[in-house]
Structure 1
Amino acid sequence: MTDMRLYTSLSKFRYLDRNYSFKYLFIAFVGVHIPLIGIITFITLSDFTSLTPGMVILSTLGFTLVACAVTLLMQNALARPIVETKNALIDYLSNKKLPQLPTDFKDEAGLLMSNTCTALQELDNLIKEKRDFIYLLSHDLKTPLHNVLTITHLMKEDTDNDSKEEYINLIRQSTQYQLQLITSVLNLATSEFTEGNEPHVLFLEPMLSKVLNDHSTSLQNKKLQILTDVAPTIQIKVNDELFSMALSNLITNAIKFSRRNSEVMIRAAVMDDHIMIRVIDYGIGFTAANAPSFEPFTKSSRSGTMGESSNGLGLYFTRKIIKYHGGSLIAESEGDGKGAKFIIKLPLPA
């Protein structure tokens, strides 16, 4: 950081600390009076009778030049906050480096530095959010597409015409879910919320039933049984599509790490100050050393019990969605082979 000692020193004086223009006026005032003070001092210390008009003129010019030089240097030093802010903007645009400008000054230059830091930090976060949601879109679009591919394969192998209508309904459900997913994620990524996309109070049980229905093919493939303990009166305040996506990710995760012919339990309860939703599987579990990470693209991602792959984004975005709704998400397990619990806590609907 370039020297800003003059600006810092002047900011310690009353009336100068909150007004940047007063600092310039103060320096100009001092600069204007340097020649006058110099001439008075020169005449006082000299033999007045020996002074000639030429000596007075030369001394006045000399003090004036010195005053101009001192004033320009001080004003240049006082301009450092603006120069530093300019350099910080250039550095961010060129290298994406966030500035480290001081933020505790109260005048216009101080507010400029503080607001620049805040604006660039928010811009940087926004850029990361946009990138994250692009990854989210590419990640979660795979689930309905895989369902459609699986169903079309079953249709090709199944010669029973009575099953065709069921397959067509499943394809329709998957494609509708995919369209809702695209709309919801793009709205969130662009921050273009309409009234219909804002969180609203709804019953949890119908939402959960719909999400489970979307996973019926995957459940059948692993011969898994879903057990639910959700009171029909439980209400949550969420964006329907986004929170459905979060539930879908957790159920996908539970299916992936469950063994064939086992169970997945989903429970929900109203607590004193929050709503708790638990997605419980009895699969491979985890220890503290290999606990699931909520960070993107983590190297700790594990394959499912049937070799299902993971790109390390599902849990990351699930937690982001739950945090967006003011909630929290944690994972628990008693160890390898002892299953896992993913616990959502949401605020009570207002």
Structure 2
Amino acid sequence: MRLRRSLQNTMLVMLVSVTALVISFFLYIRWFMEVRAGLMDLAGNLNLDLDRVMAPETFSVILTLSVLVGLILVGLSVIYLYYRRAMSLYRMQRRFIRSFTHELKTPVASIRLYLDTFLRHELPRSEELKYLAFMKKDAERLSEQIERILNLARIEGGMTPLSLECTDLGEKILSIYHANPQLSGLSLHIHPTDKKIVYPLDPGLFSMVLGNLMENAMKYNDSGAPSMEIHMEKRKNRLFLSFRDNGHGLDKKNEKKIFRRFFRVNPKGAVPGTGLGLHLVHHVIRMHKGRIWAESEGPGKGSTFIVSLPLRTGECCDVK
């Protein structure tokens, strides 16, 4: 409601500005014509040269008019850009609310159904264990979505300070991979395998980055054999990590948009999501003074997410 009221106020300001511009044009032209006619009469009565009298007055009026109209047009342009951005955010927020509501209601409805089944029927132990496993999976899914929202709120609010530790990147990636059973279907390949790369990271926050990128490689993949190639290398004074998958891929127009809050490439697709994962990844990388961007050869040709981190002198940057 507050956002809608803000948009209405923006539209009101735009309408008032356009009206002011039209009235200004009318008044400026009328004023100019009246002043010019008066000066011409005065010059005629005094037998003065009209060209010498009118030239400075005409120039000053045109200059004043141009400056004022220019300022009004700049103001309208700024208002229009903010209006478009606000409208885009409003639409994405509505999609997020619908999607997130679905993400919360679905596991809750599933757990309630299993609990009703337990209350109404006596089941064999094997059936009970099967349903309990389903309930645990739904509870974990619910907890994951709530935790993601809380993490984003804490990070964007500046309530999560960095706690850097010297971290073996290869071991960290493997630990996240093995700690998440849902990633068991992902074929993971890390390069190089013969070098130990140590870098100062916040282990908890960077785990979110790795988990999101690997999870996306699984979720947005129709190949039947999801895979991810991770390359780590030093170039000049930066460390580059590239995560290449064989998933859905991206259009060029979406390579930057996917890091926006609430943005989803296909909001009506079969794959559930909230549009917050990569936005959270982007924030964490920025907290580490790094950059992240996406590259893709097109839909169906996979995506590559590249992380660039500074190599700081005097810290535990063991990168050769």
Please report the TM-score for the alignment, with normalisation by the length of structure 2.
0.48
Identify which of structures 1 and 2 has the higher relative contact order when contacts are C-alpha pairs closer than 8 Å and 6+ apart: 2
Please report the TM-score for the alignment, with normalisation by the length of structure 1.
0.45
**Structure having the higher Rg:** 1
